[in-house]
Amino acid sequence: MRALRTAASGMAAQQLNVEVISNNIANMNTIGYKRQRAEFQDLLYQNVERMGAQSSTQGTVVPTGIQIGMGVKAGAVYRITAQGTPTQSGNDFDIAINGKGYFQITLPSGETAFTRAGNFAVNAEGQLVSKDGYLVEPAITIPENTVDISISRSGQVQVALDGEPEPQIVGQLEIASFMNEAGLEAIGDNLLLETAASGAPNVGIPDEVGFGHLLHRYTEASNVDSVSEITSLIVAQRAYEMNSKVITTADEMLSVSAQLKN
């Protein structure tokens, strides 16, 4: 009975759906996190009677035919890159991107990763780094005798030095954009890698055309909507239950068939 395998594919699909939703809920408070959505496709169809086939010698054709679907499969887990809410933190090294773009991070391997999480810090040498100690590109070093720091919406980093009347420019932040942001590969730790699907990064100055601007002493909250996720979770749970009911019904029908006597 095809219904057993069809319903089993539906249960597997809804299990994946719940796993994606649970990851979204788990990252509700993760800075810069972008929620994901599972997308599904129907499987192959069995043509019992093909539409358009001749049904008589007079040339009449079957108008609709008979196609039986074989279930569902996962098509993609899509990352939704909508803007998260900027949240004021007051930390001198927190930066949020309002609009399009990603900060660039140099990994220990030498690769460049990308992130929306701008909760930065400085290391022992005064270099601007991520929470894991990875350098921010381009490199920016904060002098030891800095008493105040200011980052403009266009990414210019200025510091006020002890005993100096005028602020000094110590660096310029740059951000990267992609043609297909959903094609970036997530590797954990709020980091993403370029792929063939995302395309090459377009690096530029914040607040230029095609790029967002920076908000100093802000972080970008996750774009997960708790109400939407809980609603989706309930829908997925009910769909899972209905597929399991189909399996139970198909089993009962097979049981009846097995008890038939000549």
pLDDT (tens digit per residue) in 32-48 = 999 999 999 998 888 88
Q: What confidence tier does 261 reach under pLDDT thresholds 50, 70, 90?
A: low
Look up the domain containing 171 and give its range.
86-220
Average pLDDT, the chain: 92
Say yes or no: 125 and 206 in one domain: yes
CA distance 146 to 162: 6
pTM: 0.86
Q: What is the pLDDT of residues 141-194, one digit of tens each?
A: 999 989 999 999 999 999 999 888 889 999 999 999 999 999 999 999 999 999
8 A C-beta contact, residue 33 and residue 262: no
Q: What confidence tier does 256 reach under pLDDT thresholds 50, 70, 90?
A: confident
Say yes or no: 68 and 94 in one domain: no
Say yes or no: 72 and 135 in one domain: no
CA distance 134 to 136: 7
Position 131 pLDDT exceeds 90: yes
Number of other CB atoms surrounding residue 261 within 10 Å: 3
Say yes or no: 144 and 123 in one domain: yes
Residues 6 or more apart whose CB falls under 8 angstroms from that of 28 comprise 222, 224, 226
Say yes or no: 41 and 113 in one domain: no
Say yes or no: 18 and 131 in one domain: no
Say yes or no: 234 and 213 in one domain: no
Say yes or no: 97 and 36 in one domain: no
Say yes or no: 203 and 130 in one domain: yes
Say yes or no: 102 and 214 in one domain: yes
CA distance 205 to 176: 9
CA distance 174 to 60: 67
Say yes or no: 66 and 97 in one domain: no
Q: What confidence tier does 262 reach under pLDDT thresholds 50, 70, 90?
A: low
Give how many domains the chain has, as a whole number: 2
8 A C-beta contact, residue 162 and residue 149: no
8 A C-beta contact, residue 39 and residue 77: yes
8 A C-beta contact, residue 151 and residue 215: no
Say yes or no: 75 and 141 in one domain: no
Angular region, 210: left φ>0, alpha ψ -120 to 50, beta rest: left
pLDDT more than 90, % of the chain: 79
Residue 190 exposed, middle or buried by CB count within 10 Å (0-12, 13-18, 19+) = buried
Residue 159 pairs with which residues in a beta bridge?
149, 168
